[in-house]
Structure formats: C-alpha cells, structure tokens
C-alpha cells in the first residue's frame, strides 16, 4: 500500500517557508497571499483525501488477509475431508473385494448345484436341444416339430402329475397303515406278552400270534383266549374294509401224524389259517372278499427248530395287512 507521509511533510515545509516569506516581506500583495492560501487549502484537501484512500486500502488489505486466512482454513478442512473420504473409499474397496470373493464362492457353489440337478433332466434337455436345432435348420417342418415339442412337454407334465398323485397315494396308504397299526396295538393291548406282536415292515402291517394263544397242541380249533384276540382284530378290520388281509399258518419242523383229515404240516398250517379267517368273518362288517387263507407249513421259520423255544416261535399265525394297491398299480402303469 502507498505511504503518503512524505507528501504531508513537503506540504508542511512549503507552508512554513511561505509564512516566513510573508513575514519577511510584509509588502507582498494580497493577491499573492490569496493564491498561496488557496494552494495551501487545496493541498490540505488532497492530503485528507490521500489519508482517506490510505485508510480504505489498509482496511481492504486487512479484510483480504482475513479472507485469505479463512480460505486457507477452509482449504485445509476440505483437504482433511478429502483424505477421510479417500480412506473411507479404500475401506469400502476392501469390503467390496471381500464381498466379491464371497459372491464368487457362492456363485461357484450354485453352479455346482445346478450342474448336479441338470443331470437328472439331461435326456430331456438333449431332446429339446435337438428339436430346437432341427427347427432352426428346417423351416419347412417347423410346425410339425413344434407340435412334437408341445406333445413332449404335455407328456412330461402329465407324467409329473401322475408321479405326484402316486406319491400322494403312497403317503395316504402309509398313513392308513400306520393308523391301523396304532388301532391294532391299542385293541390288542391286553394280549401283549402272551405271544402276540404287531409291527410294520415293507409297507405292510404284520400281526403275529403264537399257536399257544390260538390253538391247543395239534388242533386247529381256536380256543376262547384266541377268539377274544381275533374279535378285537376283526373290529379294526371292519373299520377299514379296503385293506387286504393274508392269514398265513406256520408250523415247526416236527412231523405231524393226525390221521385221515390232517396228514402233515401243510394240512395243519392251512387248517389253522382257515380257522382264523372263519373267526374273523364272524364280524359281518369285515370284507370277506379281501381275506386270504394260506399255509406255509414249516418252510418259513423265524427261529431255529433245534430248541423248544424256537419251535414255539415258529408255530404261529401271521396276519399280513396291506392297503388296496389297485389305484397305485394303475398309476404305475400310466407312468411307464
């Protein structure tokens, strides 16, 4: 900023000499005095204006310095914020890379699962791919091949529908058998430990009754305790008329000599199975069309015949209960 102090000193010196000259030369004319007085007054006004300009410029300089300091502070703050943002961006990039690696791993696992599932439909996909290539190459046969593709999809949908129906039917049959087993166990609870057992195997319910519960030794006439058990069993069968019931008679390996009616173990096993069937049909609600009596003689033992305990287990009646599988067979035939 310009310094106006020397100009002020010059004016003051000039005024001093002018006054001295006036004092020494009292004869100076009034006109000269007035001219000098005017110049002096003009110089004073100029000096005042210069002072005012200097003060204004000094104020502007101070304001500029303050503004510059504020701008420098703002710039420093912006640089700090930019550095913080850069650090944050670096951390975000690291997280992104980690997430990207995780995504790549998940994508690889997903691709493996898709590849595994795709093998099951490989034949169908090859068929569809071949048809699509033929459609692209043979525009003349496009309509016929589209119809073939549509029929293939329809057959696939129909097959899938039948499979679902088959699964539902199997689940329904299993549920029915499980309910029958539960009812039989409850109905025959009083005979537990008396040579009677109920179990479920291969989609069938097996009720096994030892001959000691049903028949006297060497006889095929059902004794009172056995009739009670079979009566309870018949009540459960009457509630489920669609069940198929196979009554099998089994003997031990000892030879049987019974006379003219019963000649051997084959005859004895058949007669005992028939007696059980007749006892079950005393309940009029039991579906007689679903009952079968069969003799297995000694040839399907469940224990060694070398001991008396094993022979007692082999002398038994097995009642094998299965659901009505006619609908299931039809569905199986349709899905082939």
- Tens of each residue's pLDDT in the chain, 336 residues: 445 445 556 656 666 666 656 555 555 578 887 888 888 888 888 889 999 888 889 899 988 889 888 888 888 889 898 888 888 888 888 887 887 787 677 667 767 766 766 776 677 777 777 777 777 676 666 677 677 777 777 777 666 666 665 565 566 666 766 777 788 777 677 777 777 888 888 888 899 999 989 998 888 999 999 999 999 999 999 988 888 999 999 999 998 876 667 889 999 999 999 999 999 999 999 999 999 999 999 999 999 999 999 999 999 999 999 887 555 455 455 555
Strands 196-201 and 316-322 come out as unpaired
Per-residue confidence (pLDDT) for residue 5, from 0 to 100: 47
Report in angstroms the alpha-carbon separations of 303 from 142, 153, 202, 217.
68, 54, 20, 19
The crossing angle, in degrees rounded to 10, of helices 142-187 and 122-137 is 160
Per-residue pLDDT of 202-216, as tens digits, reads 888 899 999 989 998
- Shared domain for 186 and 80, answered yes or no, is no
- Shared domain for 327 and 208, answered yes or no, is yes
Per-residue confidence (pLDDT) for residue 235, from 0 to 100: 92
Per-residue confidence (pLDDT) for residue 303, from 0 to 100: 95
| Residue 99, in any domain of the structure | no
CATH code (residue 195)? 3.30.1330.60
- Shared domain for 79 and 204, answered yes or no, is no
- Shared domain for 75 and 178, answered yes or no, is no
Nearest 5°: the CA angle 184, 196, 320 is 60
Per-residue confidence (pLDDT) for residue 97, from 0 to 100: 80
| Residue 122, in any domain of the structure | no
- Shared domain for 181 and 317, answered yes or no, is yes
What is the residue range of 20's domain? Answer: 5-86
Per-residue confidence (pLDDT) for residue 259, from 0 to 100: 66
- Shared domain for 77 and 195, answered yes or no, is no
Q: Which of 303, 326, 322, 321 is nearest to 313 (CA)?
A: 303
| Residue 119, in any domain of the structure | no
| Residue 113, in any domain of the structure | no
Asked which of 53, 86, 119 is the last residue of a domain, the reply is 86
- Shared domain for 183 and 326, answered yes or no, is yes
Cα separation, 231 vs 241, whole angstroms: 15
Number of domains in the chain: 2
Nearest-Å Rg of the Cα atoms of the chain is 59
Per-residue pLDDT of 290-309, as tens digits, reads 999 999 999 999 999 999 99
| Residue 148, in any domain of the structure | no
- Shared domain for 42 and 185, answered yes or no, is no
Contact by Cβ (8 Å): 214, 271: no
- Shared domain for 328 and 199, answered yes or no, is yes
The DSSP 8-state label assigned to residue 288 in this structure reads: G
Asked which of 59, 86, 113 is the last residue of a domain, the reply is 86
| Residue 98, in any domain of the structure | no
Per-residue confidence (pLDDT) for residue 132, from 0 to 100: 73
Asked which of 37, 56, 86 is the last residue of a domain, the reply is 86
| Residue 138, in any domain of the structure | no
- Shared domain for 45 and 182, answered yes or no, is no
Per-residue confidence (pLDDT) for residue 35, from 0 to 100: 83
Within 188-306, where are the H helices?
211-214, 224-238, 265-280
Per-residue confidence (pLDDT) for residue 287, from 0 to 100: 93
Contact by Cβ (8 Å): 300, 246: no
| Residue 135, in any domain of the structure | no
């Amino acid at each position: 900023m310009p310094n106006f102090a020397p100009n002020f000193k010059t004016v003051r010196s000039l005024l001093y000499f002018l006054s001295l000259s006036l004092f020494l030369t009292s004869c100076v004319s009034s006109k000269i005095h007035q001219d000098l007085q005017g110049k002096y007054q003009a110089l004073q006004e100029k000096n005042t204006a210069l002072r005012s300009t200097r003060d204004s410029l000094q104020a502007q300089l101070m304001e500029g310095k303050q503004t510059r300091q504020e701008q420098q502070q703002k710039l420093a703050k912006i640089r700090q914020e930019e550095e913080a943002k850069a650090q944050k961006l670096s951390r975000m990039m690291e997280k992104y890379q980690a997430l990207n690696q995780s995504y790549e791993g998940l994508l690889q696992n997903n691709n493996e699962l898709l590849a595994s599932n795709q093998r099951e439909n490989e034949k169908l996909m090859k068929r569809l791919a071949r048809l699509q290539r033929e459609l692209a190459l043979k525009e003349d046969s496009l309509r016929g091949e589209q119809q073939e593709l549509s029929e293939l999809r329809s057959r696939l949908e129909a097959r899938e529908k039948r499979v679902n129906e088959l699964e539902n039917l199997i689940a329904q049959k299993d549920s029915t058998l499980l309910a029958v087993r539960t009812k039989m166990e409850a109905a025959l609870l009083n005979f537990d430990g008396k040579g009677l057992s109920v179990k479920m195997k291969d989609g069938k319910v097996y009720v096994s009754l030892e001959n000691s519960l049903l028949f006297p030794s060497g006889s095929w006439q059902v004794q009172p305790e056995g009739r009670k058990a079979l009566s309870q069993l018949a009540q459960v069968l009457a509630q489920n008329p669609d069940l198929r019931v196979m009554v099998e008679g089994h003997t031990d390996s000892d030879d049987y000599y019974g006379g003219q009616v019963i000649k051997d173990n084959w005859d004895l096993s058949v007669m005992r199975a028939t007696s059980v069937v007749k006892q079950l049909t005393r309940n009029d609600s039991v579906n007689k069309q679903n009952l079968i009596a069969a003799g297995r003689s000694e040839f399907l033992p469940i224990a060694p015949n070398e001991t008396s305990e094993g022979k007692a287990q082999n002398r038994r009646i097995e009642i094998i209960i299965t659901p009505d599988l006619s609908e299931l067979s039809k569905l199986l035939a349709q899905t082939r």
